[in-house]
């Protein structure tokens, strides 16, 4: 922002307020353009033009590299046309370029869960659990531990999640299922 403001000031804009207003206007224009791109994406998707959708999502992701929905939509579309390596690359890139986002590894973890590659999930999701990510991060991680018969870890994740979301009855049922597998402990 400071460099942007300095550049605008150099071009004759006298104040930071003017620079901020100009940036806000540019951001608003980009948001309108992105909304239009998303509308076109829906049309192409309904028409079954999946490769075209993928290309547009790639453009959107370059414009908005921190947008979780765009990144996961792109990964999902790549999976949809069985471009598995591209999907993994998309999810991985988003995770690596957005370390501040506790949900950044969720797309990749979900992909591995659906592919039954459970062993890759803990390394992705354990580091973000203390940062209170989306509830699905807890669910995927706990279920992955259960699939790997790591019941103590599964219980720990369910316990952690239930502290965050004490009204999630399904989580409590899943936790009790794990407790039974641990012999009632």
Residues 121-160 have pLDDT tens digits of: 999 999 999 999 999 999 999 999 999 999 999 999 999 9
What average pLDDT is seen over the chain?
Answer: 91
Query: pLDDT at position 26, please?
Result: 85
Tell me the C-alpha distance between 168 and 163, whole Å. Answer: 10
Tell me the C-alpha distance between 131 and 85, whole Å. Answer: 29
Write the CB contacts of 44 (distance below 8 Å, at least 6 apart in sequence): 52, 53, 56
C-alpha pair distances (Å), 94 with each of 8, 75, 176? 31, 10, 35
Mean pLDDT of 22-48: 86
Q: Is 179 helix (H, G, I), strand (E, B) or coil?
A: helix
Asked if residue 12 has pLDDT above 60, the reply is: no
Asked if residue 85 has pLDDT above 80, the reply is: yes
Number of helices (H), then strands (E), belonging to the chain: the values are: 10, 0
Domains and CATH numbers, the chain: 1-101 (1.25.40.10), 105-185 (1.25.40.10)
C-alpha pair distances (Å), 59 with each of 33, 68, 73, 97? 12, 14, 12, 16
Least confident of 33-37, 87-91, 107-111, 113-117: 33-37
Asked if residue 43 has pLDDT above 80, the reply is: yes
CB 143 within 8 A of CB 151: no
Asked if residue 13 has pLDDT above 60, the reply is: no
Query: pLDDT at position 36, please?
Result: 87
CB 89 within 8 A of CB 69: no
């Amino acid at each position: 922002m400071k460099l942007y403001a300095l550049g605008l000031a150099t071009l004759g804009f006298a104040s930071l307020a003017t620079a901020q207003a100009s940036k806000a206007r540019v951001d608003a224009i980009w948001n309108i353009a992105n909304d239009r791109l998303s509308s076109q994406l829906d049309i192409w998707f309904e028409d079954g033009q999946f490769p075209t959708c993928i290309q547009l999502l790639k453009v959107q992701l370059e414009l908005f590299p921190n947008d979780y929905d765009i990144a996961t939509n792109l990964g999902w579309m790549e999976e949809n046309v069985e471009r598995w390596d591209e999907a993994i690359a998309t999810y991985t890139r988003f995770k690596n370029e957005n370390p501040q986002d506790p949900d950044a590894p969720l797309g990749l973890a979900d992909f591995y869960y659906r592919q039954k590659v459970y062993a890759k999930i803990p390394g992705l999701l354990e580091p973000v659990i203390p940062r209170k990510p989306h509830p699905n991060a807890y669910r995927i991680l706990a279920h992955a531990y259960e699939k790997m018969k790591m019941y103590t870890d599964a219980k720990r994740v369910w316990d952690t999640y239930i502290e965050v979301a004490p009204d999630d009855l399904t989580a409590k049922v899943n936790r009790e299922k794990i407790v039974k597998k641990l012999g009632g402990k």
